[in-house]
Structure 1
Amino acid sequence: MRRVVSLYLPTWPTDRIRRRLGAPLLDEPLVTVITEGSRRLIGAADHAAHTLGLRAGQTIAHAQAMVPNLHIVDAVLAEDEASLTELARWCIGYSPIVAPNPPDGIWIDIAGSSHLFGGEEKLIAHLARRLTGQGITAVACVADAPGAAWAMARYGDQSIIPPRCTVDAIASLPIAALRLPHQTLDGMHRLGIERIGQLAAMPRAPMVRRFGKDVALRLDQAFGHAFEPLDPLLPKETPLQRVSFAEPVGRLEDLAAIVQRLAQLLCGDLVRASLGVRRLDLIFERVDRQNIALRVGTAKATRDAKHLAKLFDERLQTVDPGFGIEAAILIASKVEPLSDKQIEAASLRGDGASDVDLSRLVDRLGARLGAKHVYRIAPVESRVPERSTQRIPALAPLTGLTWPEGLPRPARLLDPPEPVTATALLPDHPPAFFIWRRVRHRVTKADGPERITGEWWLSEKERASLRDYYRVENEEGARFWLFRDAPADEGGRWWLHGLFA
């Protein structure tokens, strides 16, 4: 299913000027000026200017009378649009299908890439956070259709319209959200039509006769009843291969063969450029102009065509060819230098000097489970058990740290530790029994205590932290890692922190 982000940049012209000049400050009002005949009008106003009552279309003389300390810069519409296109190219990091929507927006089709960021909500939050960090005001909305996402981003309050809920979600929005000309909007207002739902409730034939076919088209595009194509940008100077077909194709076997052919051609280009792939985008162009994008990543740079093609095997089964696919593009959207490597001699030595290459396994698992779910555990210098490990990329280089020998630790840590009810026969002794998750365990063997104090250099609270850990075994041979968070005479509580294999 198609899922499109509409990225709305309400103050893009002034944001661009601030990023280029480094001034004025955010709390100082800034506007751009355009010339219409002999009149000088506000072209765009930043948030501070809006707060003071300035709007696009006002004369500069009126604006300066309202705000004497107003910063004024000549508008350069061509530079605004060119910079917007460059920002759209930057957004290709989120999806291969990105199209600028001048003068203040960008469209991003994330149907094939949202899973790489943990879902749609996390993707748009990550996008908005990065843009805000660069001084760019941005609002994003995800919907099934570009028109619905555009409308909600500018006139609504939802960041995500659930699939197949577009009609109900935008029915209450004003008719200005349909991207109609001002003359048409004025005519609707005179008839009392203020909301999209009111327009949609009108009989179709009278509506078309009164307002024209464009109104019906915009309404259908907003509801997702009419397909609205996006013209995607391609990254500059990026290795890619494109193939067109005399007749549309759609069988899964044909798609797999196409990917293999494109991968071989692309890897040939990468060999000549001494580059390796880290991220690969596959775009299928359907005959109805609806593009389908798939994205995969690799754990390290590679140009093995067979391996790269296999990464798309499972994802190809989700492709809906519609009435047929007429072209396919394979893009190496992220590359790294990769020089040739001699491997035969190392394998013939027989001394075990060559390392096992796990990158292909990591790539296949990442394509199936998601890159964030493939990792390894590395040690961290910390006394507190739950802080002594961290997740790192599966093929990250060794840190040189190791866990201390002679300190047995459970194979599974509970984070956070779970409270248990325990009874010890003597103070500072291991418990005779404990109850965890409503199950009573009688302790037959125990070892401890191992006292672990808090990391006092981090905070004052850590100075008072103290834990006495015990390794215990129940009647059935199951082993547990328990601790008491204070001495018995101070009323310490018992906790279960880990399970031994």
Structure 2
Amino acid sequence: MEQVSAPATPGRRILAIALPSLAIDRIRRRERSRSAAPDDRPLGVVSNVRGLLRLTAVDARAVAAGCQAGAALGEARGICPELRVEPADEHGDASALDAIADWCDRYTPLVGLDGPAGLALDVTGCAHFFGGEKALADDLVTRLAAQGFCARVAVAGTMGTARALAWFTPGGVAALGEEAARVGELPIGALRIPDDARLGLTRAGLRTVAAVAARGRTELAARFGASLVTRLDETLGTIDPPISPRRPAPSRMVERRFAEPLAQTEAALAVLRALGLSLGRRLELSGEGIRRAEAAFFRTDGGVARIAIGLGAPTRDPDLLLRLFRERIDALADPLDPGFGFDMIRLSAPEAEPLLPEERDFRADEREIAARDLDELVDRLSAREGRGRVLRAFARDAHRPEAEAELSSAQGSRAVVWAPLRPEGEPPRRPLRLFARPEAVDVLAEVPDGPPIRFVWRRAVHRVARAEGPERVALEWWRVDEAPLTRDYFRVEDEAGARFWLFRDGLFVREVRHPRWYLHGLFA
């Protein structure tokens, strides 16, 4: 389905990154990390194209030797016998692109993927933090080169224009008013159209974007389809395709950059506390508190470590945040490694909620103190073990015993008040713990509707000395989509004094001819 593009937004600035040698750079980077003396022979990446092995990427040495992307492997080896090849790895290239996109969060939180070897960053309102758009682009290219990736970067008012300039020019910043002129000089390959459409335009003598734009839109759509017109307008900047950010932008965030990288984890945590204090002050102005926090540690070698925590109640306490982050870091399978140092640390609040001042009595009773201590314990356990592993039972509006409670995250929940099932002083009507699934038993009863007088469970015979019941349990009337049987529960005690909770599944004759019996729990 064709994606609908919006008209260009005035004042919007998009930075496009082209990584034409991503596969080669990834392989070279991997080899440098594994060996002190990497192989410097010409390198090519090969893949199976319609049953024939072809080069899909080559490095500068292979190009100098006469090889080029798209050539058959046998032909390339005849030209350059010392050529070595690596199989194409789309998954590895995608992982490398994802890692670069994570690292690009240091410039803007709005980072989107743009094809298998490109990225798009919305830098509207961000460039002045880096000294302007040109300084930002130069800094990005320099830092990526230090990591081993060759990149071309272009900044323009729309994504289509920036993409075309990044892939088909040396890059740079396109000022407002000159974008269409710069794009018009590009070859028609910048339109990203199918091969048959490109061949048709070439045969018609249209070799540049400006030449195609000079023709009427109706004529182009009739001959090559509406998609060509859409691509042309995107490239010229008339319409602007949206960027789909990989990560949602946080509502609040603070960060700190360092002239010299931090090589100690404790120093990084001290900075994190200071950021928590700064973020808390900002949230205080809006009357909000943090419900979910994320710390991002950007390393100089391009690695990014992200650590997220959740809280049961909104807070602005930096010491509490630091304690929870420490719990989370201590529980990591891979410890937080500064490597060559962190050059930026960011603290963001993806989730914030209103936090209003509350009055507290100096003579707080034991219940309030215990509730606060329990909430802090739940937060610490959730940070260490994970939110989904610290659970609490909640009551449900259901008749079946196994459906009356459900386990959910204990974070952010308050103690559940359960309705009493028996008057005070009476023995329990139901076991405290039920089997995960009721277990079938063989029962002998005096009458079909009566309690059992003997039953066999797990090959052991139990003779009933006493029995109480039945307690009839039927399905909720509103659940018309299901038709389970009515249950009659009995509390029975055998001759040895052991107490059991059994039920007959189905009413005799009215629902089933021969009801089955199950054991659902044991009384302690």
- TM-score band, normalised by shorter chain: 0.5 to 0.7
8 Å Cα contact 1:221/1:227 also seen in 2: no
- The answer to whether the aligner puts 1:412 opposite 2:438 as a matched pair is no
- The answer to whether the aligner puts 1:269 opposite 2:146 as a matched pair is no
Encode CA deviations 1:327-365: one digit per residue, 9 max, x unaligned: 21111221112122232xx13276978883343222222
1:319 maps to a residue whose letter is L
- The answer to whether the aligner puts 1:479 opposite 2:499 as a matched pair is yes
1:362 — aligned with what? 378
Distance 2:48 2:456 in 1: 55
Structure 2 residue aligned with 1:231, among 80, 101, 104? 104
Look up the SS of the partner of 1:348 in the other structure: coil
Distance 2:94 2:521 in 1: 53
Distance 1:242 1:222 in 2: 28
1:13 maps to a residue whose letter is Q
- Alpha-carbon offset, residue 437 of structure 1: 4.6
- Alpha-carbon offset, residue 420 of structure 1: 2.5
- The answer to whether the aligner puts 1:13 opposite 2:3 as a matched pair is yes
- The answer to whether the aligner puts 1:298 opposite 2:311 as a matched pair is yes
1:371 — aligned with what? 387
Structure 1 266/310 Cα, relative in aligned 2: closer, same or farther at 3 Å? same
1:281 — aligned with what? 294
Structure 2 residue aligned with 1:451, among 458, 472, 481? 472
Structure 1 366/223 Cα, relative in aligned 2: closer, same or farther at 3 Å? closer
The residue correspondences of 1:30-49 to structure 2 (distance < 5 A) are: none
Structure 2 residue aligned with 1:465, among 466, 471, 485? 485
- Alpha-carbon offset, residue 298 of structure 1: 1.1
8 Å Cα contact 2:310/2:383 also seen in 1: yes
Look up the SS of the partner of 1:447 in the other structure: strand
1:206 — aligned with what? 83
The residue correspondences of 1:83-482 to structure 2 (distance < 5 A) are: 188-191=69-72, 206=83, 221=93, 228=100, 230-232=103-105, 233-234=108-109, 238-317=251-330, 318-343=335-360, 346-348=361-363, 356-357=371-372, 358-391=374-407, 394=410, 395-396=412-413, 402=419, 404-405=421-422, 408-438=429-459, 441-459=462-480, 462=483, 465-474=485-494, 478-482=498-502
Structure 1 475/176 Cα, relative in aligned 2: closer, same or farther at 3 Å? farther
Look up the SS of the partner of 1:362 in the other structure: helix
In angstroms, what is the RMSD of aligned CA positions? 5.0
Aligned residue pairs total 336
- Alpha-carbon offset, residue 284 of structure 1: 0.4
- Alpha-carbon offset, residue 399 of structure 1: 8.6
1:316 maps to a residue whose letter is I
8 Å Cα contact 1:446/1:472 also seen in 2: yes
Q: Which moved more, 1:383-392 or 1:359-368?
A: 383-392
8 Å Cα contact 2:502/2:517 also seen in 1: yes
Look up the SS of the partner of 1:347 in the other structure: coil
2:275 maps to a residue whose letter is L
Structure 1 486/397 Cα, relative in aligned 2: closer, same or farther at 3 Å? same
- Alpha-carbon offset, residue 191 of structure 1: 0.8
- Alpha-carbon offset, residue 419 of structure 1: 2.1
Encode CA deviations 1:117-144: one digit per residue, 9 max, x unaligned: xxxxxxxxxxxxxxxxxxxxxxxxxxxx
- Alpha-carbon offset, residue 310 of structure 1: 1.1
Distance 1:375 1:220 in 2: 37
Encode CA deviations 1:74-99: one digit per residue, 9 max, x unaligned: xx5x56xx79x9xxxxxxxxxxxxxx
Distance 1:267 1:177 in 2: 54
Structure 1 353/363 Cα, relative in aligned 2: closer, same or farther at 3 Å? closer
Encode CA deviations 1:16-65: one digit per residue, 9 max, x unaligned: 67xxxxxxxxxxxxxxxxxxxxxxxxxxxxxxxxxxxxxxxxxxxxxxxx
Distance 1:461 1:237 in 2: 43
8 Å Cα contact 1:277/1:303 also seen in 2: yes
TM-score normalised to the size of structure 1?
0.53
Which structure has the larger Rg? 2
